[in-house]
A and B are shown apart, each in its own frame.
Chain A
Amino acid sequence: MADDLELRFERTVQAESRIEPRDWMPDGYRKTLIRQIAQHAHSEIIGMQPEGNWISRAPSLRRKAILLAKVQDEAGHGLYLYSATETLGADREDLTTKLIEGRQKYSSIFNYPTLTFADVGVIGWLVDGAAICNQVPLCRTSYGPYARAMIRICKEESFHQRQGYELLMTMMRGTQQQRDMVQDSVNRWWWPALMMFGPPDAESTNTEQSMAWRIKRDTNDELRQKFVNMSVPQAEALGVAFPDPELKWNEERGQYDFGSPDWDEFWQVVKGGGVCNEQRIAHRRKAHEDGAWVREAAAAHAAKQAVKEGAA
């Protein structure tokens, strides 16, 4: 019996059809998905902080509106993704607890600080760009609710990315001080953006099974290469340089060669040693704890209303 179910699951996945919440699925598949989607949701929520850092100081009202709307969208993405985990039997409150206790991860990129307003543009361009490269294949991922959430999220991310790039284009047309600010920001974000694709394939532990389950579609190194290939002409159009002396076109491969990110720094930040790891979690924890009395009040009010309606 179990074998039949497993066979049907395997066939569905191999045929590129979708697994839906009520379908049978292996425990490992369910756990891997909950972990991956929760990490993605946490990344959206923690990702509100580095950009939110500049809302109060945005240098024009138009940029303030764009940034506020973008950070609001990230909260929305977090919501859809937490909802997708709930279709697998997870619980938002429990996942939030795991996040603030450090038992579940979020994208390590958000442990880097946003130091100038150019960072808002560069995050839009490179960080959202890398996220899109990672996420577009997930629109075809085997689990239905996740794939559908990703389609919507990718559409909105591509808006954010264009807005980021447009901010940088505008700044590059401005004063020399602004151009220097953009280049400085690119220097700080380029390598962390490349690290967003995860460790080299040879060291990545989760890739193989996730590829077989069609949760993941391309390897880390394939996506990283593709990202570099796309980014170079965009940097040229912008008039900035990436801080990599090894970056050059390889005629034979038909791709760019590029240097290796500092994987020691990557692991140090992943393990909690980045500039902002503690700050990001402390911020999230404080918001959650400060809001506890509000959530309790809302629940108490709803319970009282239910009693009243029941009595009526």
Chain B
Amino acid sequence: MSFDNAYESLLGHEDAHWAFGTGFSEALSGVNREFPTGVDRDALAAYCLMVGDDALILSQRLSEWCSRAPELEEDIALANIALDLLGQARMLLTRAGEVLGRDEDALAYLRDEREFRNVHLAEIDCGPGPGGDFATTIARLLVFSSWRLALFSCLRGSADPVLAAVAEKGLKELAYHRDHAAQWTVRLGDGTDESHRRMQAGLERVWPFVDELFARHRVEAALTGVAVDPASLRSEVDGVLDAVLSAAGLTRPADRRAARVAGMAGRDGVHTEAMGFLLAEMQHLHRSLPGAVW
């Protein structure tokens, strides 16, 4: 019997071969982490949480598809997108944590709902399950990735070197996410009567949450040169969405804006009812074992 077996070599092997052994820090190795002078650090931390939470929460939603996708190739693709967004979230929460004196896990697992700064579009339940279906998931991904790609494209010029580096790295990922969503939008819009109906319904479901993406928050206003004014992205994103919908034979939904709550929305930490359940599931184990190491 031969012993050319990886199981056997589990003990006493050098750490260098362990996947993920060094976390994600290499992704941004060599990037200057000093804070640019004259920048309001609390605002910078709040902004990193906004952009990081968008990715973290949508990643959590997309990973719900794991083992439930319409085909194996799509299981792999959605997991890939969820992993990319999780990677972006980790770098951004870490950057926020450098100001706040907390690590990525403290920020992800120990903040309460009112402290999360993501847009509602990231948190709503678009399926699998009663909250939606594959078409609704694709509609959300199309809008989200078109918007985030435009945002990252501008963020590359941020005065914060970490934000600029995260944006540079994320750009290719987001271009793939948008392309993936656009291709499915066209396939479903064009495919069968049922897929067309579902794709149109998916767009109608997510459209009320589009407006929030372009509303400038006071944190963004306080970070000239560091943050991007989301209102400036609107025409570019609209152009992309119109082109995809037209190629898919779908109709752009009428502009319906979800009302704010006493003037507040996701960026202010005011969420939809879905958010509490999402966080309960995501955070419960971490919170159940205080002091544990993972």
Contact = CB atoms under 8 A, between A and B. Distances in A.
A79 B68 contact: no
Interface string A132-172: 11001100000000000000001001110111011100110
B89 A175 contact: no
Contacts of A174: 291-294
A213 to B, nearest CB: 19
A260 interface: no
B111 interface: no
Contact of B72 (A49, A75, A159): A75
Best-buried of A55, A64, A178, A283 by chain B (most CB within 10 Å) = A64
B6 A59 contact: no
A1 interface: no
Given A65-B20, A68-B66, A290-B68, A75 B76 contact: yes
Interface stretch (B29-37, B112-120, B184-192, B224-232): B184-192
Given A75-B75, A175-B289, A293 B86 contact: no
A299 B10 CA distance: 45
Given A56-B60, A61-B86, A61-B108, A173 B70 contact: no
Nearest to B6: A158
A167 B21 CA distance: 11
A76 B75 CA distance: 9
B293 A79 contact: no
Interface stretch (B170-178, B233-241, B279-287): B279-287
A75 B23 contact: no
Interface stretch (B38-46, B77-85, B263-271): B77-85
A266 B187 CA distance: 45
Contacts of A4: none
Contacts of A162: 10, 13, 17-19
A296 B79 contact: no
Contacts of B68: 283, 286-287, 290
B83 A171 contact: no
B134 A218 contact: no
A79 B71 CA distance: 10
A157 B6 contact: yes
B195 A296 contact: yes
A68 B83 CA distance: 7
Given A48-B66, A75-B76, A163-B18, A59 B86 contact: no
Contact of A297 (B23, B194, B286): B194
A234 B11 contact: yes
Given A52-B66, A287-B67, A71 B79 contact: yes
B63 interface: yes
| Chain B binding surface, main DSSP class | helix
Interface in A224-252: 226-227, 230, 233-234, 237
Interface string B95-112: 000000000110011000
Contacts of B6: 132, 136, 154, 157-158, 161
Given A63-B294, A68-B66, A75-B75, A297 B195 contact: yes
Contact of B19 (A45, A159, A237, A297): A159
A222 B20 contact: no
Contacts of B3: 226
B168 interface: no
9 contacts: A52-B67, A59-B286, A68-B79, A82-B72, A129-B7, A163-B19, A178-B289, A226-B1, A301-B187
Given A57-B285, A59-B286, A298-B187, 20 more contacts: A52-B67, A57-B282, A61-B89, A61-B90, A69-B20, A72-B66, A72-B79, A136-B4, A158-B6, A162-B10, A163-B20, A284-B67, A287-B70, A287-B128, A291-B70, A296-B192, A297-B188, A297-B191, A300-B191, A304-B190
Interface of B: 1-8, 10-11, 13, 17-21, 23-24, 56, 60, 63-64, 66-76, 79-80, 82-83, 86-87, 89-90, 93, 104-105, 108-109, 128, 133-134, 186-188, 190-192, 194-195, 198, 281-282, 284-286, 289, 291-294
Interface of A: 45, 48-49, 52, 55-66, 68-69, 71-72, 75-76, 78-79, 82, 117, 125, 129, 132-133, 136-137, 154, 157-159, 161-163, 165-167, 170-171, 173-175, 177-178, 218, 222, 226-227, 230, 233-234, 237, 283-284, 286-287, 290-301, 304
